[in-house]
Structure 1
């Protein structure tokens, strides 16, 4: 096998939005097949390259997934590399990027077992609503929004979340409701396409319902390029998610370098661009 396209047991043939990668690889003459990441029957020495794609249970089993990546990275060429997977599957990477000068969404980090007075914090920072999320999460899992009027519930939620792990406290960005979040997608360091996405939290008002392509905004694209430069090593694929803060400034929301949806179904040329980037790794 030339390329193992790595997925998880619930999507053994890949997510339908990611599936266009397989015929794109085949068109380059490559033998590419989907493989479930924790399938004990798979001998990873039999593939030249393993590309992580739809492993969408990785946040539920982070320790096992990171250990798997470390093991597989010794047996074949894994993308993105094991050290990137370890770093990117814990949202503390945002703290490190911010220390390197990247404009991130303001965040108060609450240690495991710790707390913060949310009422005082919201008064001090003039936040009308807060978002609480654990440092290991995906697809808005255990992510909650509370307005000032629900501070008692917010404080209780924070206590519950922090009992299990470190917690991020952020302002709720009202621009989500109209602008959504912008995803800039890169293959082998080169910009591929940009997608505007509705908010992930289910109870958030939405100005639109479906992700769609849009023309990149130069200021946002520059920020995304700065983010990738700050990583310090090349990435086969990356999705940089940005949003507008409550003062109208562009902020990094997430750098998705583990198993991001790349919206290959929205841009007809994107699967070929990714396939070509993979072929260069062989």
Structure 2
């Protein structure tokens, strides 16, 4: 097999947004097939390139996923590489990027077993509401929004989350409700396309319900997205940089997704071919 397009058992034929990649690779003469990432029957030595795509249970067992990636990376070409997957599957990477000058959404970190008085934090920071999330998570799993009136409940929830690992506490950005997030999608360090995404939290008010492509026109925002890749130090086969507007009107990095982000290939007619050609170049 030339390319194993990696997914998980709950989505054996790939996400509908990204399924067009397999035929695009086929048009280049490459044998590409969906493969369950943790299928014990796969001999990775017979795969020319393993592409992490819809491995959407990896955050539920990060240690096993990181160990698997290390093994596969030694047997074939893995993209993105194992060291990148390890780095990106714990949100401490945001601290590293911020230290390199990237404008990141303000974050208070609670260490494992720690506590935080959310009411005091809200008063000190002048925030009206907070978002709580584990440092190892995806798809808004165990992510909560609490307004100022529920600060005591938020404090208790922080303790619950910290009993399991590191916790991020951030201001709730009201622009999510109208703008959502903007995702800039790069292949081999070059911008492919951009997508407006509604809030991940289903309970959040939203000005639109489905992701939609847009043409980037904000040069400063695009520069921020590009600066994230520069801070990471090398071009990656794929990267999705998610930004949003903070409550003071500034664009900030929310996350950089270089493990298993949805790439929204179906929203741009040329995107499947661009990614397929980037993959072929690695072979």
TM tier, smaller: over 0.9
Counterpart of 1:38 in structure 2 is: 38
Counterpart of 1:155 in structure 2 is: 155
Distance between the aligned counterparts of 2:119 and 2:38, measured in 1? Answer: 44
CA contact (8 A) 2:26 2:32 kept: yes
Aligned partner of residue 236 in structure 2, secondary structure: coil
Aligned partner of residue 6 in structure 1, secondary structure: strand
CA contact (8 A) 2:240 2:263 kept: yes
Counterpart of 1:223 in structure 2 is: 224
Counterpart of 1:170 in structure 2 is: 170
1:153-200 deviation digits (Å, cap 9, x = unpaired): 111111100111110000000000011100000001100000000001
1:210-235 deviation digits (Å, cap 9, x = unpaired): 10011112111100110001111220
Distance between the aligned counterparts of 2:63 and 2:242, measured in 1? Answer: 24
Aligned partner of residue 59 in structure 1, secondary structure: helix
Is 1:265 aligned to 2:266, yes or no? yes
Is 1:242 aligned to 2:243, yes or no? yes
Aligned partner of residue 164 in structure 1, secondary structure: coil
Counterpart of 2:201 in structure 1 is: 201
Give 1:11 deviation, angstroms: 1.1
TM-score of the two chains, using structure 1 as the length reference: 0.99
Distance between the aligned counterparts of 1:70 and 1:234, measured in 2? Answer: 20
Aligned partner of residue 78 in structure 1, secondary structure: strand
Q: Which structure 2 segments of 5+ residues have no match?
A: none
Aligned length: 282
Give 1:24 deviation, angstroms: 0.2
Counterpart of 2:180 in structure 1 is: 180
**Mean Cα deviation higher: 52-61 or 211-220:** 211-220
1:68-124 deviation digits (Å, cap 9, x = unpaired): 000000000000000000000000000000000000000000001011211111111
Distance between the aligned counterparts of 1:25 and 1:218, measured in 2? Answer: 32
1:8-49 deviation digits (Å, cap 9, x = unpaired): 111111111111000000000111111100000000010111
5 Å-filtered alignment, 1:58-97, equals: 58-97=58-97
Structure 1 runs (4+) deviating above 6 angstroms are none
**Mean Cα deviation higher: 141-150 or 214-223:** 214-223
Distance between the aligned counterparts of 1:148 and 1:4, measured in 2? Answer: 47
CA contact (8 A) 2:116 2:159 kept: no
